[in-house]
């Protein structure tokens, strides 16, 4: 039986910052793995340390400029091709339902079902969150450390007040409904 290489990403729907895509092959069992979104930040950090010591992994980043130029789908396709070549001979499972023409196995909600995908989810999320906290020091008006670049009310308010930073994805359209108050 071949070992499993799990793949997941973080930052797909963010308005700012990179897309982080991780692939992970666990060398030993790690207790407490789950979808990174279902874990506390503290628990993700603890597991991140354990995963990096107990696995073979690779993390690919695509900058906001690359996302604007290539599009999210092409960035993901490139990451999956890289991981497929790097982890040749492994059974590769990507969280989701689209393999972007790369020819790998996909599974919806694999980040909560397959340990290697859970580990990749944590690697992608923690590494991206750390980058966003660093960028917060360069662009403090946007509070990237707080919302990690996602479209929260405070982030949308900061964009309305200060405009886009060099770290924002200019190709992402912010729907007017998100920036307006409720009519009810």
Q: Tell me the per-residue pLDDT of 97-125, one tens digit each, with 9 for 90 and over.
A: 999 999 999 999 999 999 999 999 999 99
Cα 43 from Cα 53, distance rounded (Å) = 16
Tokens of 159: 């964009």
Question: What is the pLDDT, as a whole number, of residue 124?
Answer: 98
Q: What residues have CB less than 8 Å from 12, skipping those under 6 apart?
A: 19, 72
Question: What is the pLDDT, as a whole number, of residue 156?
Answer: 94
Residue that wins the pLDDT comparison between 179 and 91 = 91
Name the average pLDDT for the chain.
Answer: 93
| pLDDT per residue as tens digits for the range 134-160 | 999 999 999 999 999 999 999 999 999
Question: What is the pLDDT, as a whole number, of residue 172?
Answer: 81
Cα 179 from Cα 148, distance rounded (Å) = 18
| pLDDT per residue as tens digits for the range 159-181 | 999 999 999 999 987 754 444 44
User: Is residue 120 exposed (0-12), middle (13-18) or buried (19+ Cβ within 10 Å)?
Assistant: buried
Residue that wins the pLDDT comparison between 184 and 157 = 157
Cα 106 from Cα 100, distance rounded (Å) = 10
Question: What is the pLDDT, as a whole number, of residue 26?
Answer: 97
When mean pLDDT is compared across 23-27, 51-55, 173-177, the lowest value belongs to: 173-177
Cα 168 from Cα 171, distance rounded (Å) = 9
Cβ count near 23 (within 10 Å): 30
User: Is residue 92 exposed (0-12), middle (13-18) or buried (19+ Cβ within 10 Å)?
Assistant: buried
């Amino acid at each position: 039986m071949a070992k499993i290489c799990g793949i997941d990403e973080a930052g797909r729907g963010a308005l700012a910052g990179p897309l982080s895509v991780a692939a992970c092959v666990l060398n030993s069992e790690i207790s407490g793995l789950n979808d990174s979104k279902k874990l506390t930040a503290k628990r993700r950090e603890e597991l991140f340390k354990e995963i990096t010591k107990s696995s073979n992994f690779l993390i690919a980043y695509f900058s906001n400029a690359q996302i604007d130029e290539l599009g999210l789908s092409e960035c993901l396709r490139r990451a999956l091709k890289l991981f497929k070549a790097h982890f040749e001979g492994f059974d590769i499972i990507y969280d989701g339902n689209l393999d972007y023409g790369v020819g790998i196995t996909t599974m919806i909600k694999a980040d909560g079902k397959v340990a290697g995908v859970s580990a990749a989810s944590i690697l992608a999320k923690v590494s991206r969150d750390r980058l966003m906290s660093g960028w917060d020091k360069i662009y403090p008006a946007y509070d990237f450390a707080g919302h990690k670049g996602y479209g929260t009310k405070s982030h949308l308010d900061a964009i309305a007040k200060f405009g886009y930073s060099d770290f924002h994805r200019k190709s992402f359209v912010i729907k007017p409904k998100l920036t307006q108050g409720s009519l009810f």
